[in-house]
A and B are shown apart, each in its own frame.
Chain A
């Protein structure tokens, strides 16, 4: 099973500032990673897949980089509506599909 580890657990960022979220895989997963945004009481939302391809309707301020075992989600200019928990997911080797533990992004 591929274990996905996210850091930090919580990130507090001022509006307009950059937020950088990390995700590490326990073994190489090429670029087979997706990122989701999840707000309380709402459906999760797919942001990025294939390590760098934004899903339909996702603003350009969301970007991702990395390959192999290290991945980074960057929110270039944080907006108030970006307050949420962000999860990475690997789909290189399944079952099982595995998610990271999540990073909570708070607005300062």
Chain B
């Protein structure tokens, strides 16, 4: 059974850094495209980043240069390093496993972890 469990969310001051983790089980993340998607309070889903099985990465303009997606295949864990955090980054962050054929369509999702950016 595929399982994704996010962690690392916290209350952080503007300008701070945070690293989110997504522990995967039931499949090896090394061969999969994985995404981060967020949902701000009262808002809809917003795509954040994707990492392909090849290691190629893409980011939303709103986080480019501040966030970095990566993975540790030995720990079967996906990460999102978040630097220079802003109030508008406040959201629940979901990690997701994508289809191999459609590398940005997310077939399995975690429950999310809450990041609050506030002074």
**Chain A residues within CB distance 8 Å of chain B:** 34, 36, 38, 41-46, 49-50, 55, 85, 87, 89, 91, 94-102
What residues on B are CB-neighbors of A89 within 8 Å?
A: 45, 47, 105
User: Which of B4, B44, B94 is the one whose CB lies under 8 Å from A99?
Assistant: B44
Interface size range on B against A: 20 to 34
Tell me the bound Cα distance from A85 to B43 in angstroms.
11
Given A44-B94, A49-B99, CB of A87 within 8 Å of CB of B45: yes
Given A36-B45, A89-B105, A101-B44, CB of A95 within 8 Å of CB of B58: yes
Cβ of B10 within 8 Å of any chain A Cβ, yes or no, is no
**Chain B residues within CB distance 8 Å of chain A:** 4, 35, 37, 44-47, 50, 58-61, 94, 96, 99, 102, 104-107, 109-112
Considering the complex of A and B, which 5 residue pairs feature the smallest CB-CB distances, nearest first? A43-B109, A97-B47, A95-B58, A102-B44, A99-B45
In the assembled complex, the CB of B91 is this many whole angstroms from the nearest CB of chain A, namely: 13
Cross-chain contact B45 with A55 (CB below 8 angstroms): no
Given A44-B94, A87-B44, CB of A97 within 8 Å of CB of B50: yes
In the assembled complex, the CB of B59 is this many whole angstroms from the nearest CB of chain A, namely: 7
Tell me the bound Cα distance from A91 to B46 in angstroms.
13
What residues on A are CB-neighbors of B99 within 8 Å?
A: 49
Tell me the bound Cα distance from A98 to B61 in angstroms.
12
Q: Which residue of B lies closest to A1 (CB)?
A: B61
User: Which of B37, B45, B110 is the one whose CB lies under 8 Å from A102?
Assistant: B45
In the assembled complex, the CB of A87 is this many whole angstroms from the nearest CB of chain B, namely: 5
In the assembled complex, the CB of A40 is this many whole angstroms from the nearest CB of chain B, namely: 10
Cross-chain contact A96 with B47 (CB below 8 angstroms): yes
In the assembled complex, the CB of B111 is this many whole angstroms from the nearest CB of chain A, namely: 5
What residues on B are CB-neighbors of A34 within 8 Å?
A: 102, 105
In the assembled complex, the CB of A33 is this many whole angstroms from the nearest CB of chain B, namely: 10
Tell me the bound Cα distance from A44 to B35 in angstroms.
13
Cross-chain contact B60 with A95 (CB below 8 angstroms): yes
